[in-house]
């Protein structure tokens, strides 16, 4: 179990890093703008569940093995990029008929929202790199099992992420509600979301270019 000074330092570091908008945050914001606060919060739960999977992988050493393998890392990188690009293309194409009818696009169910959030973060190499690099820095050998400490730190990271991502979802959901029904936004809503997803896919595809 990490000591309290270490936990305090980790919480401060995690808060700074999590609050700054990254790919997962932008994905949640896009979902919230597109479908409302509830959709953003469900997507947030999917993203954070994937974070727990990454943390478990880091604790067991699996993440380090994946990141050390050029083939595994490439498959993860391009798999995540392709998934986001598909979401982006679908978002760009779906709203056209709904806009003509002046009605919102069909809402995505909570199960699909959760699943998309889960997959987006599971296939996000930046999350794996971030967790594998950050968490071990706060492990103190003299405090006992490294696996236990990484799991505790991971739980703290998820808690901080929940607060931050939920705040983004609430804010974006309110903005989306204010914009909802306005003709210009109705016309551009899917295009904005699609552009965000495609942009995130391109970022994921380029992650390997900066990996050491």
- Mean pLDDT over 96-111 rounds to 55
Residue 126 lies in a domain: yes
Boundaries of domain holding 104: 4-206
If we measure between CA atoms, which residue out of 64, 72, 47 comes closest to residue 132? 64
Residue 123 CA: distances (Å) to CA of 29, 54, 119: 18, 10, 6
The encoded tokens of residue 35 equal 């479908």
Instruction: Give tens-digit pLDDT for 39-80.
Output: 999 999 999 999 999 999 888 876 666 556 677 667 766 776
CA distance 158 to 161: 5
Residue 107 lies in a domain: yes
Work out the number of other CB atoms within 10 angstroms of the CB of residue 166: 17
Work out the number of other CB atoms within 10 angstroms of the CB of residue 121: 25
- Mean pLDDT across the chain: 77
Instruction: Give tens-digit pLDDT for 149-199.
Output: 889 999 999 999 999 999 999 999 988 887 776 656 555 666 666 676 677
Residue that has been written with the tokens 């199960």 in this structure: 111
Q: pTM higher than 0.85, yes or no?
A: no
Say if CB 128 and CB 57 are below 8 A apart: yes
Residue 212 lies in a domain: no
Residue 198 lies in a domain: yes
Instruction: Give tens-digit pLDDT for 115-156.
Output: 999 998 888 777 877 888 778 778 877 777 888 888 999 999
pLDDT category at 38 given cuts 50, 70, 90 is very high
Residue 21 lies in a domain: yes
Residue 104 lies in a domain: yes
Residue 211 lies in a domain: no
Task: Give the 3-state secondary structure of residue 101.
Answer: coil
């Amino acid at each position: 179990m990490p000591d309290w000074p270490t936990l305090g330092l980790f919480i401060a570091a995690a808060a700074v890093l999590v609050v700054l908008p990254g790919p997962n945050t932008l994905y949640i914001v896009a979902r919230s703008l597109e479908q409302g606060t509830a959709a953003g919060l469900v997507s947030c739960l999917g993203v954070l569940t994937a974070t727990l999977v990454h943390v478990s992988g880091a604790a067991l050493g699996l993440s380090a093995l994946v990141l050390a393998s050029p083939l595994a890392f490439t498959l993860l990188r391009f798999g995540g990029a392709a998934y986001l690009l598909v979401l982006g293309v679908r978002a760009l194409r779906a709203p056209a008929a709904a806009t003509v009818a002046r009605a919102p696009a069909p809402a995505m169910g909570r199960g699909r929202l959760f699943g998309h959030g889960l997959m987006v973060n599971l296939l996000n190499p930046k999350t794996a790199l971030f967790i594998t690099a950050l968490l071990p820095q706060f492990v103190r050998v003299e405090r006992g099992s490294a696996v236990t400490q990484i799991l505790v730190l991971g739980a703290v990271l998820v808690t901080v992420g929940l607060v931050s991502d939920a705040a983004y979802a609430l804010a974006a959901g309110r903005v989306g509600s204010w914009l909802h029904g306005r003709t210009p936004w109705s016309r551009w809503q899917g295009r904005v979301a699609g552009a965000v997803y495609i942009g995130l896919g391109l970022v994921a595809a380029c992650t390997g270019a900066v990996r050491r």
